[in-house]
Amino acid sequence: MDLTLVAVPYDLGREDVGSGRGPGAYLKAGAAELLRARGHDVDVVMVRREAPFGDELAAVLDVDRGVAAAVDAARRRGSITLVAAGNCNVTLGVRAGLQRAGDGDAALVWLDAHGDFNTPATTETGYLDGMPLAMLCGRAHRDAVDEQLAMEMLDEAAALHAGGRDFDRRERESLLASAVRVVEGAELRDRGPAEALAPALDTLAGARRATLGLDADEAPPAHLHVDLDVLDPTAAPGVTFPTPGGPSAGQLLQVIDLVRERFALVAVTVTSFTPDRDDEAGTTLAAGLAVLQRVTTELVGRP
């Protein structure tokens, strides 16, 4: 495969601190070489913020403009785009880049312990990175997103959120009332990926085929967003907000395969790895590298 690994070393617009150190840690651990060793052509692109840090929202959207340009360029080369980032708001830039490259109709599968569906009206903490999915849908900071990224809002019916188990009360209510398909964390853990998630992915794939006018045997395009905090803290202790009750590392790989059996991946975002919080064994680093490798592994038996 032709791959572009886009590294985004920012934690809420701040460079090389907290989860902003995750992308550099993947590269230092040989992420690009690991992918090349599997036979892939790998380009590495480092995104940098252009303006000095002003306020958090402006800095985040500044980084996202760079992400959008990198993703757009990679997709125009026909490259599958792997984005290693500190926070989930980077997916705004990924989606803006996909839109510019003509991939704006990719479904979005969002794996996260948190809803990331807060708005300034529903948040209990004010935390900006609790809002990126809502921002994509035009529900939060819409003017700033419009102005900085000039992107179309995400069709909520094209999105699926899985693994959530730590929501603000009103955030969860609005997510469940939206057209976003939701498979909550308890269901994923108790019933397992095949039983809990596969039917929802089938429904989403069918809906995307209908919307895009694809044949029954065509895989609709998708963008997979993996916040590593979707994992149980035993499998990923090194994240900003570890939340008990998530899937194991093996179950996450199973989830990735379920997505890839039904969709053609055009982009993958992996976020939240916070090296300072990882254990001595590097459990979270290994989990992130495993995700990057799994999304690029040939699927056996795919039509």
220 vs 247, beta carbon nearer Mn ion: 247
Options 64, 171, 227, 232; binder of Mn ion; rule CB under 5 A: 227
Q: How far is the CB of 10 from Mn ion (least distance, A)?
A: 14
88 vs 295, beta carbon nearer Mn ion: 88
d(CA 197, CA 106): 19
Apex CA 49: angle with CA 223 and CA 171, to 5°?
A: 50
Q: How far is the CB of 28 from Mn ion (least distance, A)?
A: 23
C-alpha radius of gyration, the chain, whole number: 17
Q: How far is the CB of 156 from Mn ion (least distance, A)?
A: 17
88 vs 287, beta carbon nearer Mn ion: 88
Choose one: 35-43, 227-235, 242-250, 294-302; the region binding Mn ion (CB under 5 A).
227-235
- Told to check if 278 binds Mn ion by CB under 5 A, we report no
By residue count, the chain amounts to 303
* Cβ–Cβ under 8 Å, residues 154 and 132: no
- Told to check if 112 binds Mn ion by CB under 5 A, we report yes
Options 6, 68, 88, 107; binder of Mn ion; rule CB under 5 A: 88
220 vs 275, beta carbon nearer Mn ion: 275
Choose one: 3-11, 65-73, 106-114, 287-295; the region binding Mn ion (CB under 5 A).
106-114
Query: Strands, E, within 138-239: which ranges?
Result: 159-162, 181-183, 221-227
164 vs 220, beta carbon nearer Mn ion: 164
Question: Which is it for the CA torsion 269, 274, 279, 282, positive or negative?
Answer: positive
DSSP letters, 26-81, are: HHHTTHHHHHHTTT-EEEEEE----SPP-SHHHHHHHHHHHHHHHHHHHHHTTPEE
Task: Return left, alpha or beta for 62; rule: phi > 0 is left, psi -120 to 50 is alpha, else beta.
Answer: alpha
Options 103, 116, 166, 168; binder of Mn ion; rule CB under 5 A: 116
The site for Mn ion (CB under 5 A) is made up of 88, 112, 116, 227
